[in-house]
Structures are given as C-alpha cells and as structure tokens.
Structure 1
Amino acid sequence: MVRGVAGRSLPLAALLALAVVQVEAAGPSFPCNKTFSGSIEERICRDAGLSALDLHLAEVYAAAERKADNEHPPFLRAEQRGWIKGRNDCWKSKDVRLCVEDAYRLRITELQARYRLVEALGPFRFACDGSAANELVVTHFRTDPPSLIAERGDETSLMRQVPTGSGTRYEGRNESFWEHQGEATVVWGWQATPMHCVRKP
C-alpha cells in the first residue's frame, strides 16, 4: 500500500495521479511487446490511466494471493483468469475505455474487501421485515469508492457506494442496500421485493 504524509494511505485517485507520470516508462504489469493489434491489452499499453490501474491491480492481487495461500478450494487464480476474459470482452462495449476502467476498479475493490486488505468497519447485524431470524450481516470497507459485503444466509453480495440524495446507498450485481439513521431498505435478488431492515443493538 502506498503511503502519503504521516504514513496515511493515499486514495486511489492520488495513487493513479502519481503512477501516471511513470507509466510511459514502466507500462502495465504485462509485456506490451506481446500484445496483438486492436486488443484490449494494446489499448491498456497505450493509455497511461489504464496502465496505472493495471499496475495497481497487480499489487492488490499479489496481496490477495498471499492471503489466499491456504484457501480451499483455491479459486483465486481461476477467478482472475475469468476476470481477464471479462475485461477483454469490453471490446463489445460502446465505451470501451469506460468498460475497461470500471472492470479494473470493481476488481480492485472486490479483492480489497474480500481479502480484508483495507480497513473494515463492522460487522453490523440487521433484522429484516420484523424477523430476527431474517438477518443481514454487513461489513463496510474503506475502498475507493467505499464498499460493503452483505451476507444473508449462505449468500454474499459485494456492493459499491453510489451517489444518492439522502442516506447512504450501495449497489451490487442484483442487490442494493440503502441505509439512513440505523434503518435500511434492502433489495436482495433480481426484481425482489424490498425489505425493511433495522440495525440490531
């Protein structure tokens, strides 16, 4: 982790700003002379911001790999290969650069949260729809943007903070968590009915 003044962690935006000035010489984490013309890898090599994100992800992935050393089953590497394939599918997107950038930012956040590579707050327990048995467990992480991991039964969802007019809202793949003054509106699953959840003491 890069440290700033007085040993404090630099936010991702500041980290990228520092990294960009060195990217032309350093490049991304992979050899650019082995990329194919028109490929996503070639685009990353030509883009200082994307190269900086690639270097940052390589650092975060290495830290996650150390934490996952005793993971059973060992799925981190296989998952990373799947992520690379998904990133490379960004050529299908209308805004290719935005797709690649968002893929990197989401993966960095996911690894930092899942492997506890950044400061965590919680866990906090919520009783949903008036039932103590219908419990949601939420842990917040100081990623950029802020994120949380919510657990409900044997299901888990990673969500990132999104702008909202009031309270704090997080969105995942098919879930959302909107908290205000100790109460939360939670959607768990595609087109699921919103639940009303109250934080337990």
Structure 2
Amino acid sequence: MLVLLTSGLSQAEEAKRVPTKRPPSRTHDPACRLISDAVNRTVCERTALVAMDQQLKAKMQELAAVGGEALEQNHERWYQRRNACALRQDIRRCLEQVYGERLIELDWRYHRERIVYQGPITYRCPQGELAVSFLATEPPALVVQQGELSELAFLHPDGMGVNYRGVATNLEEQKGAARIQWQGQWRQCQQQ
C-alpha cells in the first residue's frame, strides 16, 4: 500500500496530528438578526463578506481624492447591483461575486500595477482587431481593448463553455475563436 505524507511527518505522527480549524464562516453576531433587509443581513452574518465590505470601504476612501464624481456614480451603479442580489436564490454567492468583481474593477481602473495579467492575445474580427488580456484575479477576469477603449469582463462558467461577462463587453470562447460583444455589437473573431 502506498501512503503519501504531505506534511513530512511519519505515519504515526500524521495520525495523531490535530487538524487545523478553518476560520468560521459565520460571524454569530446577534445584531445581524435585527437587520431587516436580506442583503445587509447576509453581509453581517458572513465573515468573508464582512471582510470584503471593509476592504471595499477602505479602497473607496483611498480613491476618493482621485476618483471624484465618476467614482461616486460608478459606485452607485455597483451598489444597485449589490442590492439586486436580494432577488437571487443564493444571496451569499451573489454578494461574494459582486464584491469580488468590484474590488478587482477598482484596482483595474485606478491601480493597474497591482494586477498581474497574461497577454494580450489578438483576435481578428471583421470590424477590426481586439486585444484580450487575462487577469490573474479571483474571480478570473479579462480586459478587451481596441485602441484606447477597454472594458472589463468576469468569468461566468456555464454548461456551454467559458463565458466572460461585463457591463458592456461579453466574450464566449470557442476553441481558438471567440464571439465577442464589443461596443454593442457581437463579432465573430479568430485568435491570431
């Protein structure tokens, strides 16, 4: 019998080892039960969401001086997306996704040096070339660019393949080809 030891301990030591505890997923804050709306209650109850909310607040304070009115308007649209999670069956997963995407979006808009990416990969489309760079983020994201214009989209896996969706851009990969929505039009593109 082959036994793999991942910790470098002997089999006897491995068997005695106490497993490490995972951080709690719930805050157990009794005040959370007093919150009437489902979105804020869910954020309050989940430690990961509380941490993301605090991280987002700190990032917004950091960017307040440079972002100006455009940042505020953009954040208001994000806040509407966040609150729309109340209509979803899995509010927690929706909120984790929306918060994660917002944190990446702010870094992409204001601190691109913080983001590691691969590419760009060039796609030849009938309406011109598009450059696609894949971001090493969680959730996974990409940037579609043509000239000075660029848009961010996030991975949304489904049963049909790999799809990235953004506010103004979508990309559906198809084995070296891609169907890309750019500037309101769908384009059938080939990877160069």
Tell me, which stretches of 5 or more residues in structure 1 are unaligned?
1-16
Counterpart for residue 84 of structure 1: 79
Shift of 1:97: 2.3
Counterpart for residue 189 of structure 2: 196
**Residues 88-167 of structure 1 mapped to structure 2, 5 A cutoff:** 88-115=83-110, 116=112, 117-129=114-126, 134-152=128-146, 156-163=150-157
Q: Are 1:186 and 2:179 counterparts?
A: yes
Q: How many residues align?
A: 168
- State the Cα deviation string for residues 143-177 of structure 1 (Å, max 9, x = none): 11221110246754322234489x96533345114
Tell me, which stretches of 5 or more residues in structure 2 are unaligned?
1-20
Q: Are 1:170 and 2:169 counterparts?
A: no
Matching residue's letter, 2:123: F
Q: Given the superposition, is the C-alpha separation of residues 194 and 159 from structure 1 closer, same or farther in structure 2, using an over 3 Å criterion?
A: same
In 1, Cα distance between equivalents of 2:187 and 2:152: 18
Q: Given the superposition, is the C-alpha separation of residues 170 and 21 from structure 1 closer, same or farther in structure 2, using an over 3 Å criterion?
A: same
Q: Given the superposition, is the C-alpha separation of residues 162 and 78 from structure 1 closer, same or farther in structure 2, using an over 3 Å criterion?
A: closer
Matching residue's letter, 1:148: L
Q: Given the superposition, is the C-alpha separation of residues 140 and 77 from structure 1 closer, same or farther in structure 2, using an over 3 Å criterion?
A: same
Scaled by the length of structure 2, the TM-score of the pair is: 0.63
Q: Given the superposition, is the C-alpha separation of residues 193 and 85 from structure 1 closer, same or farther in structure 2, using an over 3 Å criterion?
A: closer
In 2, Cα distance between equivalents of 1:91 and 1:164: 22
Larger radius of gyration: 2
In 2, Cα distance between equivalents of 1:169 and 1:83: 21
Counterpart for residue 12 of structure 1: none
Identity across the alignment (%): 24
